[in-house]
Structure 1
Amino acid sequence: MNDISPRAAPAWSAVFSMTLGVFGLVTAEFLPVSLLTPMASDLDISEGMAGQTVTATAAIALVTSLLITAATRRIDRRYVLLGFSTLLIVSNLLVALAPNMPLLLLGRVLLGIALGGFWTMSAATVMRLVPEESVPRALSMIFSGVSVATIVAAPMGSFFGDIIGWRNVFLIAALFGVLALLVQFATLPRMAPNAQTRLKTLVEVLRRPMVGLGILAAAMIFAGHFAFFTYIRPFLETVTRVDVNGISSILLGFGLANFLGTFLGGFMLERNMRFTQIVMPATMGILGLGLSGVGGIPMADALMVALWGMAFGTVPVAWSTWLTRTVPDEAESAGGLLVAAIQFAIASGAAVGGLVFDTSGAIGVFAVSGVVLLMAALLILFGVRAQAAIPT
């Protein structure tokens, strides 16, 4: 295959192959959530210990996001991406065949490397696969894989785990990885690396005008969202007062709306990126305050949760697009910073949300989440721009 220059003719088949990879990665990431009990029983460990497999994946993804660009700076990006899909396959096979906790953790560590590396390079890769004006649409396609995986992983993992066993579920996930690898092998073009990238490049990029503020704003949005999302079930149980079927229905509505939001984000970003960046966290903030203030009516709560899901569906697309326009010359390094900030925000949002939950309940969590999101919208309004931050 021949090299292609940035913004060449659209390679939509390659974008689709990346979407398959995203689906496989995110499905594997969240499968343990729905399979904790049988995994723990089979391996003779506690469910809490089995849950650390998710933590290990996130922690390794954070570290990888900061190191992967420099570590692979001399390798064709086609081969790096194929390597991530290979790690996905090996990870799922190790988990499926693991006789003990150490091998299970090893499999999840390999998945963390694949996750962190893929997300770090995703925006920069898209810039090489499609023209600039098509970047938001391509990113929305890729992030739709996240939404589908979020909808599918937990319910389907639990359903098939009861029928064929949790190990076979991970074997099926490995097959998805094989499919993604084959399609990527057939469609991804060669993409020259940036041999000049070093670890110090991360600091240089972070010091550019608007980059630090933009990453801070994105981190605030993700922290606010995951504080909300982590404690949505207790809210629905204690405030909305719906049963298990009602909770499942509302969460399904959230997932479907989130899926639609990824495509809405691509449509809006092609027309006005700055408007999208400001309005969506502001909408989520208002919904968080609304749920904390007047929550308790099932239909109204279900609608607000669905609207939240749709608004959040635009967020990853928006900030990946912002990155490609703000730091086009170092999109991989900036992507690593953004992924690391998001991973930290996810962990801290859930942790701080837990402290608030212990003192003020789910209503308090939603109120704090709403305030953080409105603060993020104000920061974007007054401090973040979409122009390129390239040193002269």
Structure 2
Amino acid sequence: MSEAQSRPDQAVDQTTAPAPAAWAAVISMTLGVFGLVTAEFLPVSLLTPMADDLRITEGMAGQAMSATAVMALITSLLTATVTRKIDRRYVLLGFSVLLIAANIMIAQAPNYAILLAGRVLLGVALGGFWTMSAAIIMRLVPEKNVPRALAILFSGVSAATVFAAPLGSYLGDVIGWRNVFMLASLLGVLALVVQFATLPKMPPRGRATLRTLIEVINRPRMKFGLFSLVLIITGHFALFTYVRPFLENVSGVTTAGVSGILLGFGVANFIGTYVGGALIARSLRMTIALMPMIMGLAGVGMVAIDGAVAPTTVLVAIWGMAFGGVPVAWSTWITRTVPDEAESGGGLLVAGFQLAIATGAAVGGLVFDTSGALGVFTIAGFLLLAASIIVTLGLRTAPVPAEQG
């Protein structure tokens, strides 16, 4: 499939796309996102058996998510620069190979050090693939089809949220956590095969450098927006990383019950993606502020009721629905704030997410080891409420762009 010619007055053309739309390639990208996000969040539902098997604390097992997030953060900032001379098809295929290798390494890990090494490798694959994916999709379809293609891409995240935690928890109890990661490696193989068959050659465009990132981050509204994003995602992942210990130790839920509650979280999250989209059409700023407020109230509410099972189940679903709108809202914010630098802006957004994931998991682990799940949920809940207030008072959003004919 041939690429459209770049205009001489435009160094990086991120919206021009070939025709016809390469929908099979878009699906292959979605499979990649599904496999990566599934692997990233499997420890959430397998934290307890992983800790028992490797003879470490649950807090230490939670740091495995931090290792992935830190490496994904670094990779998201460097990918465009390091790979600027390589065909994007081969870059993405390489990240899919790393996904497979990382899952196999984690599944076979004899000790904590090898587990962390596998999670670091996963972080490279996650940060690189996710950073490039949105910009590449813009090259696979005509401009008018980009919103639809991005919606398909994000459905991979929602599907992983629905299936990874509950299915991982269930299968971990049936076949063991190591075999769950082996199954995750097969997801990577499937994504790699489909990508190999469908992704066209995509020569690199432009001359991405680290200076571009600095220029983008220094634009109006960017620093405050990224700071607000980090606060919100930190609070969420402090809750999410330790939700299984909370349900088991505070609510007294069985493994099967944990799977059911996490499934409810995932389904609500999927629905929340569309709810968030509808709210964004009314007010992007209101949506960005409202979601962490709901999440924070849910977290504090679970502590206040001391983990009573029935209301906790409802609150977990409400929390999941609220978080469903967060990635959609912030992705919309970045496209409106730096529309001319989608790849660099996307890299900064991924970096912000991963920094927050690492911070949330790390701080949550420290709090968990000292004051348990109740302490984690209390602090994270109030952090989310504070983030909502900060966004309400200080965040400014760009005007809605005019619709294209």
TM-score normalized by structure 1? 0.81
- CA 1:192–1:138: 2 relative to 1, 3 Å: same
- Indicate the residue corresponding to 1:374 in structure 2: 385
Provide the C-alpha distance between the structure 2 equivalents of 1:107 and 1:27, rounded to a whole number of angstroms: 15
Amino acid at match of 1:376: A
- Per-residue CA shift, 1:49-88, capped at 9, x if unaligned? 8776544333322221121111012223232222211222
Provide the C-alpha distance between the structure 1 equivalents of 2:192 and 2:76, rounded to a whole number of angstroms: 21
- Indicate the residue corresponding to 1:205 in structure 2: 216
- Indicate the residue corresponding to 1:386 in structure 2: 398
Q: Is the 8 A contact 1:141 1:263 kept in 2?
A: no
Provide the C-alpha distance between the structure 2 equivalents of 1:138 and 1:246, rounded to a whole number of angstroms: 36
**Is 1:318 the counterpart of 2:332 in the alignment?**
no
SS at match of 2:299: helix
SS at match of 1:124: helix
Provide the C-alpha distance between the structure 1 equivalents of 2:252 and 2:176, rounded to a whole number of angstroms: 33
- Indicate the residue corresponding to 2:267 in structure 1: 256
Provide the C-alpha distance between the structure 1 equivalents of 2:395 and 2:164, rounded to a whole number of angstroms: 38
Provide the C-alpha distance between the structure 2 equivalents of 1:322 and 1:144, rounded to a whole number of angstroms: 19
- CA 1:325–1:57: 2 relative to 1, 3 Å: same
Provide the C-alpha distance between the structure 1 equivalents of 2:50 and 2:301, rounded to a whole number of angstroms: 39
Amino acid at match of 1:225: H
CA deviation after TM superposition for structure 1 residue 311, in Å: 0.9
* Aligned residue pairs, count: 386
In structure 2, which of residues 11, 15, 20 is the aligned counterpart of residue 6 of structure 1? 15
Structure 1 vs Structure 2 CA RMSD = 3.7
285-294 vs 63-72, greater mean Cα deviation: 285-294
Q: Is the 8 A contact 1:141 1:262 kept in 2?
A: no
269-278 vs 336-345, greater mean Cα deviation: 269-278
- Per-residue CA shift, 1:271-319, capped at 9, x if unaligned? 6534432322232233334444456553333222201101101111221
CA deviation after TM superposition for structure 1 residue 233, in Å: 4.1
CA deviation after TM superposition for structure 1 residue 102, in Å: 6.9
Q: Is the 8 A contact 1:123 1:323 kept in 2?
A: no
**Is 1:285 the counterpart of 2:309 in the alignment?**
no
156-165 vs 261-270, greater mean Cα deviation: 156-165
Q: Is the 8 A contact 2:46 2:169 kept in 1?
A: yes
Amino acid at match of 2:396: V
Show structure 1 runs of 5+ residues with no match: none
**Is 1:113 the counterpart of 2:106 in the alignment?**
no
Show structure 2 runs of 5+ residues with no match: 5-13, 401-405
Map 1:356-371 onto structure 2 (within 5 A). Answer: 362-363=373-374, 365-371=376-382
CA deviation after TM superposition for structure 1 residue 117, in Å: 0.5
**Is 1:215 the counterpart of 2:226 in the alignment?**
yes
- Indicate the residue corresponding to 1:65 in structure 2: 76
Amino acid at match of 1:279: L
Provide the C-alpha distance between the structure 2 equivalents of 1:34 and 1:301, rounded to a whole number of angstroms: 17
- Indicate the residue corresponding to 2:100 in structure 1: 89
SS at match of 2:361: helix
TM-score normalized by structure 2? 0.79
CA deviation after TM superposition for structure 1 residue 257, in Å: 0.9
Provide the C-alpha distance between the structure 2 equivalents of 1:244 and 1:90, rounded to a whole number of angstroms: 29
Amino acid at match of 1:224: G
- Indicate the residue corresponding to 2:8 in structure 1: none
Q: Is the 8 A contact 2:166 2:258 kept in 1?
A: no
CA deviation after TM superposition for structure 1 residue 195, in Å: 3.4
141-150 vs 50-59, greater mean Cα deviation: 50-59
- Per-residue CA shift, 1:207-253, capped at 9, x if unaligned? 11011111111111101112222343454456655555544432221
63-72 vs 188-197, greater mean Cα deviation: 188-197
